[in-house]
Copies of this chain bind each other. A is one copy, B any other.
Amino acid sequence: MDTLPPRTTRIQKKNVSRILEAALDVFSANGFRGATLEQIARAAGLSKPNLLYYFPSKEAIHVELLSGLMSTWLDPLRLIHPSGEPVEELIGYVIRKLEMSRQFPRESRLFANEIVQGAPRIMPLIEGELRELVEEKSILIRRWQDAGRLARMEPRHLIFSIWATTQHYADFDVQVRGILSEEDERHFEDARAFLETFYRNALDPARG
């Protein structure tokens, strides 16, 4: 598992982070098999054998990236707070998640690529960390619904819908742009406005 001697030097820190940054670029744009060590090395400003001095294999880089980012990726979900106003809490989650799509599209595509192809390298993470967190928040949502403070609908599918609608703007970026024919990022503003009304309607407990 470990690739380097215990003591982490200055140079190691610098190069490892360079490699991961470059790998994020290359993997997210080309998928695992589409990416080559040569590309990653060039993007990181290192030689190919030098890459392999820091990581034992291409796969190791990929796994390190995915598991390192998983936690950050889940932060927005963690921030849903039991004591808040239900509709606002969930809309806040939607907005945070959309913001992630805007600011970290590479990370989103990295996961998308991996999962579309069967998540061969991160199933454990999905069935562990992720699943538990979803379970926890689902219970909270259910409680809110029971208290009549949120429209009634399956909590886990509601969470799926939030992932889907927000990550869509990162993962399917080229399609969105192709249809809206805008080069800048203005459409993120529109998406934000849309999602807010959309979810406000959908979640309104008056519908229950």
Contacts and interface: CB of A to CB of B under 8 A. Distances in A.
Contacts of A123: 174, 178
A156 B168 contact: no
B157 A161 contact: no
A28 to B, nearest CB: 9
Interface string A109-134: 10011011111000100110011001
B153 A197 contact: yes
A168 B109 CA distance: 14
A10 interface: no
A175 B33 contact: no
A92 interface: no
A102 B1 CA distance: 38
A157 to B, nearest CB: 4
Dominant secondary structure at the A interface: helix
Nearest to A133: B179
A126 B33 contact: no
- Which of A153, A157, A172: most chain B CB closer than 10 A? A157
A203 to B, nearest CB: 8
A126 B30 contact: no
30 contacts: A30-B117, A31-B33, A31-B34, A31-B116, A31-B117, A32-B34, A34-B117, A112-B116, A112-B171, A113-B116, A115-B174, A116-B116, A119-B178, A123-B174, A126-B175, A126-B178, A126-B179, A127-B178, A130-B178, A131-B181, A152-B197, A153-B197, A156-B180, A157-B198, A160-B169, A160-B176, A164-B172, A198-B202, A201-B204, A201-B207
